[in-house]
Amino acid sequence: MNIILNGKSVDVEKGELLIDVIRRHGIYVPTLCNVEGLSPNGACRMCVVEEVNSGRLVTSCSTEVQDGMDIRTHSPSVLLARKTILELLLVNHPDDCLYCDKNETCELRQLAYELGVRSRRIGGKKYDYMIDASSVSITRDPSKCILCGRCVRVCDEIQGVSAIDFVRRGSSAMVATAFDQGLNVSSCVNCGQCVRVCPTGALTESSSTREVVNALLAPDLHVVVQYAPAVPVTIGECFGYTSGTDVFGKMNAAMRLLGFDKVFSTAFSADLTVMEEASELVSRINNNKVLPMMTSCSPAWIKYVEQFYPDFIPNLSTCKSPQQMMGAVIKSYYARMNNIDPEKIYVVSVMPCTAKKYEAKRPEMLNRNIADVDAVITTRELVSLLKQYNIRFDLLEPEEADEPFGYRSSAGRIFAVTGGVAEAAVRTAYKLITGKELKDPEIKPLRYLEGVKSSQFNIEGLKINVAVVSGLGNARYLLDNIRDKKLDYHFIEVMSCPGGCINGGGQPYGLDSDRIKARMESLYRIDGASDLRTSHNNRFIEKIYKEFLGKPLGEKSHQLLHTHYKKKDTNI
């Protein structure tokens, strides 16, 4: 098929959407409602283009190409329509850009600049809804909502949670929870995917930067920071680096400038998690305990099971997440090693995930009434702190993280991408079962960004079926099929966010799938170039077991590194 695009003849395929053809030819068309991977709905109308033959304006995101179309993407009528739509959206929008958490990344503000909206031509009443700050993870400001529907669709169609939806009608329409209650009493699992896709400041993470700054200023506190494996390959995007650039060395230097006493990598405790989790898997298989065993690294996934699939709680690994394991060993082993009162240690986590804020506050994560982790900030919050402190990230000389918890294998680093936890666990499970190293540690069937992957491993005659899932909607599909006995696995890795932590709810804003792919490829390159690719060969992991923990699944490790979960009502 053939169409005319801005005066030029271009070839197209039947069934293609206009917006895909237009963007493929290097032309930018704005949209406020479109979410990659979901069917288009044309709700915002910002993507309208002119079809000259019919004289109509059509939404390019939901219109399929037709042979002989004559499309103009920036004709006077198109530009007027887009500008008018934007001005109508701004009628009710608060004028508080200076104070909004998304003032640098707001798509509405950016479009206003691009379309030349410099004054208010249309008057109207400003929205003045109550801010919902009930959740420890997510803050909701309905006054800034433009009803684009992105959050609703992601929560429902991708995550399968449906904690929010459109309510009321006409000019009173809004996005809210059931009965317009707080997020804390909704079915929200805190994954933050709604925050990631929201084009305005209607949804943001509940910030903990003030608490972190206060801790750094407290003279009697020993403040340490840990950062998740996904953060070093994403934070650079906020400072002009290409997606996937590994800036862990600059991060170490930057956080020391912020004033942290020690800088550790959560990839170390990912190695620790592998030791416990692989041992637990082997123990369950050998002793005919509950299978399949499911990973417990993702707190949104844990809450999802507790709320929607409580019959699968016994299948969850009892291992704490790497974040919580790190906090636990810092306030026990590290405290004893350095003769510091655990109550005087303040642990800060830098995470790609908003649900980690919820996890750190769970009562199950207390040890003698001392929290494993005291404060959690997202990748975006760390960027905000660095800018507040005027730290020139690009000028910093790379530094190493502090030992012993800064030393990590590349198996710990690939925890950041879907399939990484399973791949790292299989590498160590093979060693535990056979006493030998896996010849090729790269397990290709578990790699890349597909939502559901699986593979079977034959280890000395022991067959282990492994599945990998990312996105809670895909997890629902898997659980339903396991419940109906249509699928049979020994080990299942689940990450709440599509693609894994590299696409977490606390990561830099942006809906470009190429960025996610670049982050993934960077982690695989790091793994391929590493001299240490297995968690069990991390010398500091060996040391902590020898000096303190004893052995995986032992009494000490069970006390510090394992926990339990129980059924939750969806209104808790």
Q: Judge if 58 and 122 occupy the same domain.
A: no
Of the listed ranges 152-161, 170-179, 255-264, 496-505, the least confidently predicted one is 170-179
Query: Does residue 570 belong to any structural domain of this protein?
Result: no
Distance, CA of 329 to CA of 258 (rounded, Å): 23
- Give a yes or no: residue 107 inside a domain: yes
pLDDT digits (tens, 9 = 90+) for 517-542: 999 999 999 999 999 999 999 999 99
CA distance 411 to 390: 34
pLDDT at 572 over 50: no
At residue 319, φ and ψ (nearest 5 deg) are -65, 135
The structure tokens listed for 223 are 């403040």
Question: Same domain for 462 and 424?
Answer: yes
Q: What is the mean pLDDT of residues 258-286?
A: 97
AA letter at 262: K
pLDDT band at 381 (very low <50, low <70, confident <90, very high): very high
Structure tokens at 489: 């696995």
Kindly state whether residues 55 and 189 are assigned to the same domain. Answer: no
CA distance 495 to 229: 14
Cβ atoms of 121 and 170 within 8 Å: the answer is no
In a domain, 572, yes or no: no
The domain boundary, picked from 88, 122, 138, lies at 88
Model pLDDT, residue 570: 59
Owning domain of residue 126 = 92-205
Task: Give the DSSP H/E element, type plus range, for residue 293.
Answer: strand 293-294
∠ at Cα 271 (293, 441), nearest 5°? 80
Tell me: do 146 and 41 sit in the same domain.
Answer: no
End residue of a domain, out of 205, 235, 250:
205
- pLDDT of amino acid 547: 96
Q: Which residue has the tokens 């400041």?
A: 201
Active site (catalytic) residues: 277, 280, 297, 317, 356, 359, 364, 501
Question: How far apart are alpha carbons 459 and 109 in whole angstroms?
Answer: 56
Q: Angle formed by the axes of helices 299-308 and 472-483, to 10°?
A: 40
Identify the CATH number of the domain in which residue 180 sits.
3.30.70.20
Question: In the structure encoding, which two tokens stand for residue 333, read together?
Answer: 């082993």
pLDDT at 511: 76
| Residue 222 and residue 357 in one domain | yes
CB contact at 8 A, 358 and 368: no
> What average pLDDT does this structure show over 375-383?
97
pLDDT in tens, 385-421: 999 999 999 899 999 999 999 999 999 999 999 999 9
Q: Are residues 457 and 346 in the same domain?
A: yes
Task: Give 86-135 pLDDT, tens digit per residue.
Answer: 999 999 999 889 999 999 999 999 999 999 998 888 888 888 899 999 99
**Cβ contact 135:188 at 8 Å:** yes
3-state secondary structure at position 317: coil
Higher pLDDT, 367 or 221: 221
The per-residue DSSP string of 461-504 comes to TEEEEEEEEESHHHHHHHHHHHHTTS---SEEEEESSTTSGGG-
- Per-residue pLDDT reduced to its tens digit, 418-445: 999 999 999 999 999 999 999 999 999 9
Confidence of residue 305 (pLDDT cuts 50, 70, 90): very high
Question: Do 521 and 542 fall within a single domain?
Answer: yes
**CA of residue 240 relative to chain centroid, distance:** 21
pLDDT above 90 as % of the chain: 90
Q: Which of 98-107, 134-143, 259-268 has the lowest mean pLDDT?
A: 98-107
> What pTM did the predictor assign?
0.94
Q: What is the DSSP letter of 388?
A: H
Structure tokens given for 525? 């390159």
Same domain flag for 82 and 99: no
Q: How many CB atoms lie within 10 A of CB 165?
A: 14
Same domain, 262 and 217: yes
* Mean pLDDT for all residues in the chain: 95
Question: Checking DSSP bridges between strand 174-176 and strand 366-367, what pairing results, if any?
Answer: unpaired
DSSP result, 157-180? IITS----EEES-GGG-EEE-GGG
Note whether 51 and 158 are same-domain residues.
Answer: no
Dist. CA 396–CA 76, nearest whole Å? 48
Rounded to the nearest 5°, which phi and psi values hold at 351? -125, 155
Instruction: Give the number of residues written for the chain.
Output: 572
Total structural domains within the chain: 3
Task: Kindly state whether residues 125 and 226 are assigned to the same domain.
Answer: no
Q: Which of 67, 88, 109 is the last residue of a domain?
A: 88
333 and 243 part of one domain: yes
CATH assignment at residue 41? 3.10.20.740
Would residue 429 count as lying in a domain? yes
Burial 469-503 (b: 16+ CB within 10 A, else e): bbbbbbbbbbbeebeeeebebbbbbbbbbbbbbbb
Whether residue 388 lies inside any domain: the answer is: yes
472: CB partners within 8 A, 6+ apart: 158, 159, 160, 161, 189, 191, 300, 301, 304, 496
Beta strands in 95-252 (DSSP E): 138-140, 165-167, 174-176, 203-205, 222-227
Would 473 be classed as within a structural domain?
A: yes
Q: Is 486 within the bounds of a domain?
A: yes
- Residue 286 in any domain: the answer is yes
- Position 123 scores a pLDDT of 82
Give 318-333 pLDDT, tens digit per residue: 999 999 999 999 999 9
**Domain holding 532: CATH number?**
3.40.50.1780
